[in-house]
Every structure is written in structure tokens, then in C-alpha cells.
Amino acid sequence: MRMIDLIEKKRDGETLSTAEIEWFIQAYTVDAVPDYQTAALLMAIYIRGMNRRETVDLTLATAHSGDTLDLHDVAPFVIDKHSSGGVGDKTTLVVQPLVAACGVPVGKMSGRGLGSSGGTLDKMEAVDGWTFEMTVEKFKKQLAEIGLVLAGQTAVLAPADKKMYALRDVTGTVASTPLIAASIMSKKLAAGADAILLDVKTGSGAFMPTVEAARDLAQVMVDIGTDAGRKVVALISDMNQPLGYAIGNGLEVQEAIETLRGGGPPDFWAHCLAVADHMLLLAGKADSLDEAKELITAVRQDGSALTKFRQMVVTQGGDGAQVDDPDLLPQAKFVEPIIAPRSGTVAGMNTGEIGWATVRLGGGRFVKTDEIDHAVGFVLPAKIGDEFSKGDILGTIHANDRDKLAQAQTELLAALSWSDETVDPLPHFYGVIQ
């Protein structure tokens, strides 16, 4: 086969065969297809789309582009969780230890930032010494010993996705239903989870801007899971405003720790609780959401979830003192308030632009080689529906560069819309697909 034929075929709106998709993934994995041709095919898929069969084929081929993990020799049942991406979404850092503290092993492979969305690995690297790199043997050993693993994509698990993930981030091909579904589900299938909880975001800060698009993505991923023999449930959640208050890697880790300690923003805790509840239900640890809520609330209150998080940090080389005292996490040189430019009610937010403003502060990447500044970002308690007077403090900007700080101030305020009328708060969730 020739790569140019696949590119032209998809460019012209035709469907790719199972054999063609499998050939492409195998060839790309061994560097027999260059990035520029892969980028062209990704753009053709982005524009033309894929049908269900193509999407399932792409997922399975990607999942089998390297080794697949069987965890049953160390854990009888393993659950995983994945978010489709959002601004301020540090849910994994809280939900994983909550569920693990309830006795359900959680083994997760996470990714870096994608577009305006922050990545779980980027957030955790704010902790000194913490590493996501590990062998399959270490993954299994850690899962057996503490019941909690937060790893990156290894060279042997779904290697094709690891390469394409980085390429999509810098070629304008992120917001594609088949590419997102295949990326997420290939990692989940390769990592050996028996059940998967999907948190599919919708809104101005999500790759799926409408509830309908989010439902479509969720249904595709649930269908893939069904075809692969996995238990999958998808929650459709709101991303029309940042989740919680903190936006930016180190700031989000600090907020996650505060939440595990019993504090944190109310909207963020409500979100984490719902996700964790469904994970316990999926795992058979609880017979109802009410029972699951009691279990999750208990491990938060008694400190065992925070202890589990600290165990994961230290086991993966991180500094436990930064968990004990989050003020030891990276701190920005400049912290300045965001001032309300007028009186009124916050009517809307361009959440994606808030994410990009964080990237421009240094909290994300425009190209694969960019270094991340883990100290920068925003703390924005203001929510849609909140009322303010002119001059009130909406939040704070954390920066290490004066010019970038000034730019971020302008960009953040431009991302907010105001009303003189009362505005209803937004729901946290729009539905469940299973």
C-alpha cells in the first residue's frame, strides 16, 4: 500500500478499509510513514470524518500497535477513568485516590496537554521528582502494592497513539470525534482496564462544543467499549466555564490536594463525587449511587484518600513534602488581582480562550518542544450567574513575566461576558450514556 492513496481516498470522502487502517497504524508505528503524511491524513479525517466501522478499526489497530496489558495476575478487577479534556480539569488527581481508597484498583495511563486543555501529566510534573515513566513490571507492582497508578503512555502500550497525540496537538486536528474516540479508547483497551468511566465535556472549553456533539462522542466510545467486551459508562459534563477555580498546572495540583483534604471549590467537589460514585457502581463496589456517595465521602473525611494520593506521588519519585504543604509547589513571581470592569452578572465565558491564555502565560505548549512553566495560571472563583460590583476581585493571575501578565489580564477579561439581568447557574451534568 501507499500512504498517498489513503490520503487521497479520505480527502475525497471515501471510507478506508480495515486492511488500510491496520497497515497505516503498523507503518506509522515503525516510522515507515513520515509525520507530514500522517498530518495530511489526520486533517482529511478531521474534515471528512469516519463511520463507526472505521472508528472501531482505528481504535483496535492503535490499541494493538504495541503490547496490551493484562492486569489480572495482580488485580482481579481494574477500573479506569478518562476525560475528553477541559480547562481546569484536575478531576483525575482527586477521583483516582478516592476510588482506590475504597479498595478498587485504579490503573491509568494519562496524556499531556492537548490544545487549550491541560494534561494530567503536565499537572503532576509540578511535583518535584514525580515521573510518569515506568515499565510494565513497575506498573503491575505498584498496582498490586498500593492499588493506584498514574502513568504516561509507555513505548510499548499504544505507541501509535502516543505519536499521533503529539502531532494532533500542533496540526489543528484535535477536535475530531473519531480521532478523540480512537485516542481515548485505544489507551484504555491497551492498559487492561475491565471497566471505564468516561467524562465527556461539552461547551466553550471542550472539544465538543454542543451537548449533541458530546453525546455523539460518548456513544461512539461506549460502542467501542461494547465491541471490545468492556463495561463503559459516559457522563456528559459541562465545560462552559473552568472546572473549579484553579487553571494552570501547579495551581491545579494545589487545588486537588485541598479538595482531598475536605476543602476545595464546591463545583469541583460535586463533579469529583459524581464521577467517583459512578466508578464504584461500575466496579460493583456499591449497589447504588447513594451507597457509593457514602463510601467516597468517608474516605475523604478520614484522610485515607489523601494518604493514597501521597503514596502514589512518593512511589513515583515525587516529593511527599509538597503534598503535606502545597505551598512548596512552584510559585509565580507575580500574583495580581483580576478586577471586575463593570457591575453586573457574569453571563458567559469563552473557556477555550481562558485555556489559551494559560498556554500563552507558559502553562501549555504551542509546539511539541515547548517547556512548561508549572507556576503560572489563573485562580478564578467567579462563575456564570455570580453578581459583582465594578472593582470587585474576580480572581488572580499568576505569572513569571510582566508582559505576559498584562496580556493575560486583557485576555481573561475579554473572555467574560456580562449581563444586567439575573443569569441562572449552569448544570454540572447533561446526562449518562451506558
267 is catalytic: no
pLDDT of residue 194: 92
Q: Inform me whether the pLDDT recorded for 347 exceeds 70.
A: yes
Per-residue burial over 240-253, b if 16 or more Cβ lie within 10 Å, else e, is bbbbbbbbbbbbbb
Catalytic residue among 187, 188, 285, 310: 187
Is 341 found in the same domain as 313? no
Is 301 found in the same domain as 364? no
Residue 255 and residue 244 in contact, taking contact as beta carbons nearer than 8 Å? yes
What is d(CA 333, CA 236) in angstroms, rounded to the nearest whole number?
Answer: 37
Catalytic residue among 161, 238, 267, 373: 161
pLDDT of residue 106: 94
pLDDT bucket at 116, cuts 50 / 70 / 90: low
pLDDT of residue 93: 97
pTM: 0.88
| Strands across the sheet containing 334-339 | 246-247, 377-379, 393-399, 334-339
Is 35 found in the same domain as 108? no
The CATH number for 361's domain is 3.90.1170.30
Is residue 61 in a domain? no
**Alpha helices, DSSP H, located in 134-173:** 136-146, 159-169
271 is catalytic: no
Query: Ramachandran region of residue 433, left (φ > 0), alpha (ψ -120 to 50) or beta?
Result: beta
Is 338 found in the same domain as 321? no
Q: Over range 32-37, report the average pLDDT.
A: 98
Residues in contact with 36: Cβ distance below 8 Å, sequence separation at least 6, in sequence order:
none
Is 239 found in the same domain as 112? yes
Q: Over range 203-212, report the average pLDDT.
A: 92
Residue 201 and residue 208 in contact, taking contact as beta carbons nearer than 8 Å? yes
Q: Over range 117-142, report the average pLDDT.
A: 91
Is 290 found in the same domain as 225? yes
Is residue 60 in a domain? no
428 is catalytic: no
389 is catalytic: no
| Other CB atoms within 10 A of residue 310 CB | 20
Q: Dump pLDDT digits (tens) for 251-293.
A: 999 999 999 999 999 999 999 999 999 999 999 999 999 999 9
pLDDT of residue 173: 95
Is 166 found in the same domain as 299? yes
Is 150 found in the same domain as 253? yes
What is d(CA 279, CA 103) in angstroms, rounded to the nearest whole number?
Answer: 12
pLDDT of residue 270: 97
| Least confident span in 119-128, 309-318, 389-398 | 119-128
pLDDT of residue 63: 95
Altogether, the residues listed in the chain come to a count of 434
Q: Inform me whether the pLDDT recorded for 112 exceeds 80.
A: no
161 is catalytic: yes
Helix (H) or strand (E) holding 334: strand 334-339
Which residue range(s) make up the domain with 31? 3-49
Half-sphere exposure of 395 (CA within 13 A, CB side): 22
DSSP-derived pairing of the beta strands 393-399 and 377-379: antiparallel
The number of folded domains in the chain is 3
Is residue 430 in a domain? no
Residue 93 C-alpha cell reads as 488527581
Looking at the chain, the whole-number percentage of residues with pLDDT higher than 90 is: 83
Catalytic residue among 65, 83, 176, 183: 183
pLDDT of residue 115: 64
Catalytic residue among 140, 168, 188, 404: 168
Is 126 found in the same domain as 141? yes
Residue 297 and residue 276 in contact, taking contact as beta carbons nearer than 8 Å? no
Is residue 240 in a domain? yes
pLDDT of residue 77: 92
Is 225 found in the same domain as 191? yes
The CATH number for 44's domain is 1.20.970.10
Is residue 354 in a domain? yes
Residue 265 burial class via C-beta count within 10 angstroms: exposed 0-12, middle 13-18, buried 19 and up: buried
The CATH number for 128's domain is 3.40.1030.10
Q: Over range 75-83, report the average pLDDT.
A: 91
Q: Inform me whether the pLDDT recorded for 370 exceeds 90.
A: no
Is residue 337 in a domain? yes
Integer CA distances (angstroms), 268 to 140, 237, 262, 274, 359, in order: 30, 12, 12, 10, 22
Is 228 found in the same domain as 129? yes
Is residue 200 in a domain? yes
Integer CA distances (angstroms), 322 to 4, 91, 148, 262, 276, in order: 51, 19, 19, 17, 24
pLDDT of residue 114: 64
Is 311 found in the same domain as 188? yes
pLDDT bucket at 222, cuts 50 / 70 / 90: very high
Is residue 413 in a domain? yes
